[in-house]
Copies of this chain bind each other. A is one copy, B any other.
Amino acid sequence: MTDRSSIMQSMSPDTDTRSRILSTAREMFHGRSYADVGIQEICDGARVQKGSFYHFFPSKHDLAMAVIDNMADEWAHGFVAESFDQNLPPVERLDYMIDAAYYWQKAATDIEGRMPGCLFGNLALEMSTRDDVMRAKLNAVFDKAMGKFRATLDEAVQGGTLAAMDTEATATAMLAYLEGIILLAKTRNDPDVILILGPAIKTLRIELSH
């Protein structure tokens, strides 16, 4: 355990080399793709030497893993927490989440000119056939998100707002739909697609198999 002063010295947030690399890489991977972003480019963006980069990350692959963890964390503590841990009625949380997704993509589009979409979805389609380790990690991220949906649905069923259903399957379907509309919106480079199609997420339903 290091004391506070040494923390301040060696890890002031965002002047810290490792996290500078991490956030630069995250931004670049998100806005482009894994393959299209080079180590040198990341180093330039983070004002770091290549040898220094390899002091913190053993390989590009490991960097990507760290980026996924990093984004998943920010996700969990950011808009996922906001959307789901609300004292809003369960079903309305879905609307809240769609809105949050929209504003995020809208803001990014306004700044960069291009809609980046979902980092996890992007990486999943690019890497799933080539990197089972990364695929597994992305799977875990998706599973966690699905769990949030599921908990919301369970609560709604419990409270009588929704008729009984296969909440696990429906939650998975909702996650798939969310990724799908983000994919389509990105292809159209138009975040509004999320606003238009998003609310229909509440119409998805998978019955209990019997």
B-contacting residues of A (Cβ < 8 Å)?
31-33, 35-36, 114-117, 121-122, 124-130, 135, 138-139, 142, 169-170, 172-173, 175-181, 183-184, 186-189, 193, 196-197, 199-200, 203-206
Contacts and interface: CB of A to CB of B under 8 A. Distances in A.
Contact of A180 (B129, B181, B193): B181
Copies held by the complex? 2
Contact of A125 (B121, B175, B206): B121
Contacts of A130: 32-33, 36
Given A114-B128, A186-B124, A173 B179 contact: no
A173 B197 contact: yes
Nearest to A124: B187
Contacts of A189: 128, 135
Contacts of A188: 139
